[in-house]
């Protein structure tokens, strides 16, 4: 669940700091990397050496350390993580966070970050219920900071009540909840086709098209960014492989279909590839030679399999959502509506690829989203933004389907 996630753990000065050592161990066991910031007071309860040994990374503490700043500036430290976790979050550090102070490295990092923050408070019961702390927590919640705990129970100071820091396993669960909230497609499997296909005429010549793969690759990256486990089946393209995506490189439509059918169970399929409609009926085994005086060879073509239509076929293996593309040069929306019905997919993203639009190979795309509910005209967007918007819509649709199912 936390594989590849980077957690910045801020350990402030409370007796519960000893639990942070166990927290690091649990997080690393789940595949996360942990980097620690230890406050001056925190270092009275747990040593930098403990945190360093468990995190296998250096521990940051001094705001004015020339060596730290030259290796990793405090601003970068605050952003170079997927999540900041404050555990234990003391009354003092919560007050400084609420007040926007930057009087040590922990407070500065928390003020400078653009990442989500989770706080696990730990303090004496009277400190937790004090009007000042209550107001600070209220302020921080309004600003979007998530809290886990504190729990009720016996405290180190022999009092009883709320103030005990949550157990490390509870903090891990809260971390997963925060990270999954930003990853609504976690646990979903997606297939994306992208780029052109190449249909061999002979070993040196082929039929293909102008597809750059930019839109399909951006969709694969956007689905992965929302947490999906993405397989990208791509024809020959010049764009780089998106990060965090399994890429299967193919040439022909037949190979693309085989790779798609090989991808296993899917929740989502997005067919953005420009699959050649026809292939050579009988590709020559050797290079077709020019013969003096002979007419050009006649090309006999055969239809390619329709990958989108194949994936859209009803059955237990059909993905919950199948999205096709319709690249058109005229009657864009009408043609796309007809194509949605003919291919049996759920949604069609239709775009005008007339040469004047510069869509093929360009950075921007003006699309219409055609669903059972009707047609939405999207404004001109960068291909990355089209991809993010589409991925967001896909996540929303699947979440809605889960809600409906639960209500039934
Ligand atoms: O039929 P047409 O090529 O216009 O349909 C476009 C949509 O169908 C795209 O989503 C494309 O990826 C998909 N397609 C396919 N296999 C084909 C032809 C098109 O998956 N052989």
Q: What is the CATH number of the domain that holds 168?
A: 3.40.50.1950
pTM here is 0.68
304 ligand 1 Cβ < 6 A: yes
Rounded Cα–Cα distance for residues 385 and 363 (Å): 10
Which of the listed residues 161, 179, 197 is the one where a domain comes to its end?
179
Which of the listed residues 153, 179, 205 is the one where a domain comes to its end?
179
Report, as an integer, the average pLDDT of 196-212: 96
347 ligand 1 Cβ < 6 A: no
The answer to whether residue 184 sits within a structural domain is no
Percent of the chain with pLDDT over 70: 100
Q: Does residue 231 sit in the same domain as residue 266?
A: yes
Identify which has the larger pLDDT, 178 or 192: 192
Average pLDDT, the chain: 93
CATH number of the structural domain spanning residue 233: 3.40.50.10300
> 270 lies in which domain range?
189-407
pLDDT score of 1: 65
257 ligand 1 Cβ < 6 A: no
Q: How far is the CA of 268 from the centre of ligand 1 (A)?
A: 16
pLDDT score of 22: 97
Identify which has the larger pLDDT, 328 or 334: 334
Residue 355, pLDDT above cutoff 80:
no
CA distances from 271 to 113, 222, 313 (A): 37, 14, 14
Q: Is 157 a catalytic residue?
A: yes
Report, as an integer, the average pLDDT of 150-155: 87
Q: Does residue 132 sit in the same domain as residue 241?
A: no
The answer to whether residue 294 sits within a structural domain is yes
- Which of 263, 278, 279, 307 has the most ligand 1 atoms within 8 A of CB, as the residue to mutate? 307
Least confident range of 12-26, 52-66, 69-83, 101-115: 69-83
Residue 339 marked in a binding site: yes
195 ligand 1 Cβ < 6 A: no
Inter-residue contact 269 to 194 (CB < 8 Å): no
Q: Does residue 100 sit in the same domain as residue 120?
A: yes
Confidence of residue 158 (pLDDT cuts 50, 70, 90): confident
Q: How many domains does the chain have?
A: 2
């Amino acid at each position: 669940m936390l594989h590849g996630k980077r957690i910045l753990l801020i350990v402030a000065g409370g007796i519960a700091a000893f639990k942070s050592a166990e927290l690091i161990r649990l997080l690393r066991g789940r595949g996360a990397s942990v980097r620690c910031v230890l406050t001056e007071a925190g270092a009275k309860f747990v040593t930098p050496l403990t945190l360093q040994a468990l995190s296998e990374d250096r521990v940051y503490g001094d705001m004015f350390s020339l060596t730290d700043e030259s290796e990793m500036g405090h601003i970068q430290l605050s952003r170079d993580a997927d999540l900041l976790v404050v555990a234990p979050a003391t009354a003092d550090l919560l007050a400084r966070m609420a007040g926007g102070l930057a009087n040590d490295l922990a407070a500065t990092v928390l003020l400078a970050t653009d990442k989500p923050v989770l706080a696990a408070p730990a303090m004496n019961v009277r400190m937790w219920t004090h009007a000042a702390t209550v107001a600070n927590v209220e302020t921080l919640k309004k600003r979007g900071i998530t809290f886990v705990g504190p729990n009720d129970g016996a405290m180190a100071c022999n009092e009883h009540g709320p103030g005990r820091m949550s157990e490390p396993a509870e903090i891990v669960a809260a971390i997963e909840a925060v990270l999954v909230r930003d990853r609504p497609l976690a646990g979903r499997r997606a297939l994306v086709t992208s780029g052109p296909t190449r249909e061999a005429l002979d070993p040196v010549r082929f039929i293909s098209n102008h597809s750059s793969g930019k839109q399909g690759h951006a969709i694969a990256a956007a689905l992965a960014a929302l947490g999906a486990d993405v397989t990208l089946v791509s024809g020959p393209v010049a764009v780089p492989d998106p990060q965090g995506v399994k890429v299967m490189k193919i040439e022909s439509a037949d190979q693309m279909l085989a790779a798609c059918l090989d991808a296993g169970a899917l929740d989502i399929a997005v067919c953005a590839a420009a699959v050649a409609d026809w292939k050579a009926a009988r590709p020559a085994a050797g290079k077709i030679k020019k013969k003096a005086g002979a007419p050009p060879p006649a090309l006999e073509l055969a239809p390619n399999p329709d990958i989108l239509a194949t994936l859209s076929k009803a059955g237990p293996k059909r993905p919950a959502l199948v999205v096709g593309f319709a690249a058109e040069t005229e009657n864009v929306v009408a043609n796309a509506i007809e194509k949605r019905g003919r291919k049996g997919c759920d949604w069609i993203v239709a775009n005008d690829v007339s040469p004047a639009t510069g869509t093929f190979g360009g950075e921007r795309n003006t699309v219409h989203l055609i669903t059972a509910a009707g047609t939405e005209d999207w404004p001109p967007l960068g291909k990355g933004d089209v991809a993010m918007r589409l991925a967001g819509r896909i996540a929303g649709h699947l979440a809605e389907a889960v809600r409906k199912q639960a209500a039934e």
